[in-house]
Chain A
Amino acid sequence: MLDDLAIKVRQNIGLATAIGLFGILYLLYNMAHPKGFSSAVLVQNGNEIFALAMLAMAQTVPVLASGLDLSVGAVMTMVGCVASYLLAGTVGGTPLHLEIFGLHLGLGTFPGGTGGIMLGMAVCVAIGSLAGFVNGCVVVYGRIQPIIATLATGAVYIGIALFLRPTPGGKIDEDVNWALTNSLGDFAATVHIFDDGAAAWFTPLAWIPVPFVLLALISLLVWVPFRRSVLGRAVYAVGSAEGAAYMSGLPIARAKIAAFTLAGFFAGCGGLFLAIQTSSGNADIPQAGAYTLNSIASVVIGGTSLLGGTGSAIGSIFGAMILRVISFFFRIFDIAPLLQPLFEGLILLTAVSIGALGVLRVKNTLELFR
């Protein structure tokens, strides 16, 4: 029994480290913050963490299959721009039109009201998943290396985002914005459930920020079942030893496509939230690039190996949170904004180099070359 526990701990040391590190950092942060440990700060943090956490989850799945997805930031941006059209929530519906090459295209009216908003969200997430699916197909059937394939598709998606929103704009229903970017109590009050948030059993939970709840729900309802499914395990198998996976009769093509589709799904969720949070759609190319690169950093810090086969999306979430908390620190310690990028860079470099210490213990140099 203890034997098994020891084995499990050793296998998950990366995840445990990430969680532990995050715990310490966040504790310190709240202690140093004048309004630490308050719901307001938690909510603000939650809003700032969610998108990157989602993108970290997105990046994890292709990495597990020993690939990489350089389009996650672009998918996020594209879906955000779509959301800025579909989530306006006006009662009579939103007329949709696009300007392309000087042509004005009328695309009918998207339903409004609550039903419309739900439909809009579903469509956004579906588009993200579709983008991921396309990535998967290009990699599997085009037999193009993931890093280059997603580099190219990312350009296409960012282009689509630019078509949709050449300049930032759009409108998100205010209620949606309010409900999803605050605490559970506010959510309940806006959506009129649980007695508008006054129900006795509910009040102890009312302080929990919605973004964290969403994060937990998405992890529990999507990631955990996927990980335990045959297809999810096939993704790990493909990343660990693709040849052996083929010999074992695993559905390699399906696993890879599923990995990229899931990445698109998570990235879509991130983009949807970002649009809701900022109440607009913004086709910001540098921001998309920064998110993509930060998602890779989050994955590494969260304990997933870039070589594939081991790791977890949960670890990547913590990796993302660690990255974000570090930038929070800059705020409260009033580090000169000029020095912030330098510190971020140094911390990132140190974090990824720490894993290198294991290298020094290797006694057979052949083992260094995988």
Chain B
Amino acid sequence: MQDAVPTEPAFLKLAGISKRYAGVRALDGIDFACERGKIHAVLGENGAGKSTLIKIIAGVVQPDAGTMCLAGNQVSFATPSAANAAGVVCIFQELSLMPDLSVADNISIAAPPRRFGLIDARAQRRRAEELLAGIGCEDVNPLMRVRDLPLSRRQVVEIAKALGKRPQLLILDEATSALTSADVEKVYVMLARLKAEGVAILYISHRMHEVEALADRASVFRNGRHIETFDWGARSTADIVQLMIGRDIAAQYPAKPARKPVTPVLALEHLSWEKHLDRISLSVGAGEIVGLGGLDGQGQKSLLLALFGVLRGVTGRITANNREARLGSPAAAMSVGIALVPEDRKTEGLMLPMSITDNLTIASLGAISTGPFVDRAKERTTVTRSISRLQIKIGAPSDAVSNLSGGNQQKVVLAKWLMTEPRIILLNDPTRGIDVGTKQELYRLMRELADQGAAILFYSTDYDELIGCCDRVAIMYDGRIVRELEGEELTETNIITSSLNVHAATPATAGATHA
């Protein structure tokens, strides 16, 4: 494919970069370049190699082959601080903040202002205030411990910290995922300023509207290969998605059955919890996939946790299978047939060092035991069946689950829950960080399970998914359900306006960009 010729000399140039991880080729002979004063979007599904590429540029890992040139000089960064010294600064998805230290400490963590050899706390605080003001976030008090800040503020601190390193090349890896929409606007302003100062910017995000708003150029990666680089606008969104997944996206979502009356399997009445849930009333029927939508942090995750017995002090009524349920613990929830696929598979869904078998069977050991002992034969058959049903790609069932790719790990989590034969399945953002191929498999599986009679409650931050998969979507705002959309009403516009809790009468915000 012909790449559009850039108008400036390349600031960062990669040639032939390759990286293998335990037999998997994460990057395969990548050639890449980006220029100063431009925002360069890096697009691709998970597993495309974006994070590996970024880690190499930022000095977190070393390439197996290939060269990297910065401003014409060949460079190689052995550590993140070496990269920082050369002006390459990365804002990672997993924050690099120390929760027990203050904001001021975190921002100036590596090279603080000093007096008589010791850290000058006052100068450090001033520096933090300046940097935070630079992104328009003066509300963050530099003395606060990072641990005491909400996630959106922490991300702001992370951005301020990166700015403090005076980057020549700034990489943002999903750096806005937790920000409020107001903060995202501030970030746009900051990036525009940096652009004007000649900083080269690499922007990685799954949020197409952000990329649309910012990008000057874009590169698409797929399966560890660089597919194409082009000026923004040269390719339509559909083209880009096509490049990213390499095949026609038309049949992405399985067909939805015709709407018919459903018997409610799960009914919530006035469910409340702390400040996060406010008199939620909802019902999910057998065969239904009900989505939870809305902006981040409006209580969707808390709702799922409440339904799985994790939260204490939940008031209101939960009826499962026509009987009132008291959900005091996950075990109680499981006993009425509820399963939860949690948010963070690495810390909540899997025991990473343990084998695939152990992880698959851990929630249903009762079913494969004879007497007090685990029946190894039964276990083997169940495991084999699970693996083939979900088509999990593994080496051997006794391998550690940490060896698997993100998508396959998520399949293991799902398979684990399917083994418990649940009637109500709660999914907490299950496709986050999963490659497109696995996502499609998951959508098909969800519909299959629904068709077999399960009731599914599905939280996703991706509106396309909600529209594509769900029979009904409940939009949450501030802990309440503000609207339920189904059928013809289930459109992106309606989701957005409901998410912002805007009444249809207000035109000004109808087409507003959002976080």
Contact = CB atoms under 8 A, between A and B. Distances in A.
Interface of A: 3-4, 7-8, 11, 225, 228-230, 233, 236-237, 239-241, 243-250, 309-310, 362-366
A368 to B, nearest CB: 10
Nearest to B143: A7
B99 A250 contact: no
B145 interface: yes
Interface of B: 60, 79-81, 84, 92, 94-101, 105, 109-110, 112, 114, 117-119, 121, 141, 143-145, 273-274, 305, 310-313, 329, 348
B98 A229 contact: no
Given A362-B312, A363-B274, A366-B310, A249 B79 contact: yes
A244 B141 contact: no
B98 A236 contact: yes
18 contacts: A4-B141, A236-B101, A237-B109, A241-B97, A241-B98, A241-B99, A241-B100, A246-B80, A248-B96, A249-B79, A249-B80, A250-B109, A309-B99, A309-B101, A310-B100, A362-B312, A363-B313, A366-B305
Contacts of B100: 236, 239-241, 309-310
B310 A247 contact: no
B98 A225 contact: no
Given A249-B79, A363-B311, A365-B312, A233 B101 contact: yes
Contacts of B143: 4, 7-8
Contacts of B81: 249
Nearest to A5: B143
The 7 closest A-B pairs by CB, nearest first: A249-B81, A309-B100, A247-B96, A240-B100, A240-B98, A228-B118, A244-B96
Contacts of B311: 363-365
Nearest to A364: B311
Contacts of A229: 117-119
Nearest to A245: B98
A117 B80 CA distance: 48
A278 to B, nearest CB: 37
Nearest to B142: A4
A315 to B, nearest CB: 14
Nearest to B342: A366
A64 to B, nearest CB: 10
Contacts of B109: 233, 237, 248, 250
Contacts of B274: 363
B contact face: mostly helix, strand, loop, or mixed: loop
Given A228-B118, A249-B79, A240 B348 contact: no
Contact of B119 (A230, A239, A362): A230
B112 A230 contact: yes
Contacts of A248: 80, 96, 98, 109-110
Contacts of A243: 94
Contact of B98 (A7, A244, A362): A244
B71 to A, nearest CB: 21
Contacts of A247: 60, 80, 92, 96
A241 B98 CA distance: 5
B145 A11 contact: yes
A248 B110 CA distance: 7
A67 to B, nearest CB: 15
Q: Which of A11, A225, A244, A366 has the most CB of B within 10 A?
A: A244
A3 B141 CA distance: 9
A53 to B, nearest CB: 24
Contacts of B118: 225, 228-229
Nearest to B145: A11
Contacts of A228: 118-119, 121
B119 A244 contact: no
Contacts of B329: 365
Given A233-B105, A240-B99, A244-B98, A365 B112 contact: no
Contacts of B141: 3-4, 7
Contacts of A364: 305, 310-312
Contacts of B119: 228-230, 233
Nearest to B106: A248
Nearest to B146: A240
A8 B144 CA distance: 8
Contact of A237 (B95, B101, B114, B117): B101
A223 to B, nearest CB: 12
Contacts of A233: 101, 105, 109, 112, 119
A197 B134 CA distance: 59
Q: Which of B79, B118, B121, B311 has the most CB of A within 10 A?
A: B118
Contacts of A241: 97-100
Nearest to B306: A364
Contacts of A366: 305, 310, 348
A292 B356 CA distance: 42
A3 B105 CA distance: 18
B100 to A, nearest CB: 4
Contacts of A8: 143
A22 B485 CA distance: 62
Given A364-B311, A366-B305, A309 B80 contact: no
A255 B279 CA distance: 50
A123 to B, nearest CB: 26
Contacts of A240: 98-101
A3 B101 CA distance: 18
Q: Which of B98, B99, B143, B310 has the most CB of A within 10 A?
A: B98
A246 B82 CA distance: 12
Contact of B84 (A7, A237, A249): A249
A362 B117 CA distance: 42
A256 to B, nearest CB: 15
Given A7-B143, A363-B312, 14 more contacts: A4-B143, A8-B143, A229-B117, A237-B109, A240-B98, A240-B101, A244-B96, A247-B60, A248-B110, A249-B81, A309-B98, A362-B312, A365-B311, A365-B329
Contacts of B96: 244, 247-248
B51 to A, nearest CB: 13
Nearest to A234: B109
A230 B95 CA distance: 21
Contacts of B305: 364, 366
Nearest to A247: B96
B98 A237 contact: yes
Contacts of B84: 249
Nearest to A224: B118
Nearest to A365: B310
A244 B97 contact: yes
A364 B109 CA distance: 31
A302 to B, nearest CB: 16
B310 A7 contact: no
A15 to B, nearest CB: 14
A117 B96 CA distance: 49
A81 B164 CA distance: 51
Nearest to B144: A7
A294 to B, nearest CB: 25
Contacts of B110: 248-250
B276 to A, nearest CB: 9
A230 B109 CA distance: 8
A229 B121 CA distance: 11
Contacts of B79: 249
Nearest to B330: A365
B114 to A, nearest CB: 8
B190 to A, nearest CB: 21
Contacts of A249: 79-81, 84, 110
Contacts of B112: 230, 233
Contacts of A310: 100
A158 B362 CA distance: 45
A269 B51 CA distance: 49
Contacts of A239: 100
